[in-house]
A and B are shown apart, each in its own frame.
Chain A
Amino acid sequence: MTRIFADLHLRINPKDQQTAERLITKAAQMGYHYISIPFTQGIQEKELTALKAICTQAGLDFVQRADFKPRTQEDLMHFLRKFRRKFELICIICDSKEVARQAAKDRRVDLLNFPSLDYHKRFFDRAEAELACNSLAAIEVDVKPLIVMEGPPRVRLQSSLRREVAIALEFHVPVVISSGVGEEALMRKPRDLASLGYLFGLDEAHALDAVSTNAFRIVLRNREKLSSRFVAPGISIINEGKSV
């Protein structure tokens, strides 16, 4: 079976069309099918249309993603109310325990991202995993720090990631591996990206799922939900007839 690969976190400024075009073309050459560039300040129609056009030209499927770093629970709820129906993918960058817990239990959140390198600021523990597994949220691992860092910081990060991934697997929380890069030189082929999963304890099958199945399942689920034919999970309008 041919795998469909996705890199859901290419860190490009949507306004920088030239860089975006270069990176998108490269992603297509590398064998990705889905890519996503996060919008951090709401939806900008002009940039979105341009990015979609570039992706279509390169033969890629563009996923609309919004990243948000809320300071409080109220901030998070406000953001989700405002943007959930506008984006196909919602990623919450968890910088506090309060936000991490709320994001993990909210069914509108797709990805939980813990960017901090500080052990004490990474909140993906067993309690968080239990909340996430009930709400279908996945944990996103950006591999950029593993590529660019060296020495003790990388060792500490690997250790944290290994612990978090082991918890995620125990609680059946999907793990999504993304690149998180914004430079051509740091882009990796899907299988090379997956191979970095070995550094934090993912075996080959789980690592490949993390760059393919786990990622595009979220996208497909959300696209179904956002379609006009969706009624409720498992129920959708197949055909509309005239009332007699």
Chain B
Amino acid sequence: MKRVKRRYLALQLECEGLPSEREFMDTLWAAVTKLYGEVGASLTGLALISFDGERKIFVVRSSLVSLPAVRASLATITGVSGKTASIHVLAVSGTLKALFSNLV
């Protein structure tokens, strides 16, 4: 079986207050599902890797082929758990090591 190539995205959340990891991921899934449906969302392989509450930076993983779809979905997010919010992509990388070195 061919290995699935992945990309790691560092996301900056801009909102009042701090949502929980669960609320954040639910918002992400909801946005992807709204745009691409359940089958499309299942192909993205989204997963939360790490979370920096102080800087409101989330690191998520996605498959390489669905990266454009995930990025488009992220741009359509206007709220997290009922509060106005926006999500900006800070960096995209193929390895976590490179991603974190980009963030510093």
Assess whether B93 is interfacial by the CB under 8 Å rule. Answer: no
What is the interface size of chain B, counting residues whose CB is below 8 A from a CB of the partner? 16
Size category, A interface: 10 to 19
- Are the CB atoms of A196 and B76 closer together than 8 Å? yes
Q: How far is the CA of A193 from the CA of B84 in the complex (A)?
A: 18
Those of B12-71 within 8 Å (CB) of chain A: 14, 34-35, 68-69, 71
5 contacts between A and B (CB under 8 A): A147-B75, A185-B14, A195-B68, A196-B72, A198-B69
Assess whether A86 is interfacial by the CB under 8 Å rule. Answer: no
CB distance from B83 to the nearest CB of A (A): 10
Which residues of chain B come closer than 8 Å to A204, judged between CB atoms? 68
Which residues of chain B come closer than 8 Å to A30, judged between CB atoms? 88
Assess whether A12 is interfacial by the CB under 8 Å rule. Answer: no
Q: Which among B69, B71, B78, B89 is the interface contact of A147 at CB below 8 angstroms?
A: B78
Tell me whether A192 and B74 are in contact in the complex, defined as CB-CB below 8 angstroms, given that A198-B68, A199-B35 are known contacts: yes
Which residues of chain A come closer than 8 Å to B89, judged between CB atoms? 189, 191-192, 195
A contact set with B: CB distance below 8 Å: 30, 143, 146-148, 150, 185-189, 191-193, 195-196, 198-199, 204
B contact set with A: CB distance below 8 Å: 14, 34-35, 68-69, 71-72, 74-76, 78, 84-86, 88-89
- Are the CB atoms of B74 and A185 closer together than 8 Å? no
Q: How far is the CA of A187 from the CA of B88 in the complex (A)?
A: 10
Which residues of chain A come closer than 8 Å to B74, judged between CB atoms? 192, 195
The 5 closest A-B pairs by CB, nearest first: A195-B71, A198-B68, A192-B75, A198-B72, A185-B84
A sample of 7 more A-B contacts (CB under 8 A), given A185-B84, A193-B75, A204-B68, is A147-B78, A186-B86, A192-B75, A195-B89, A196-B72, A196-B75, A198-B69
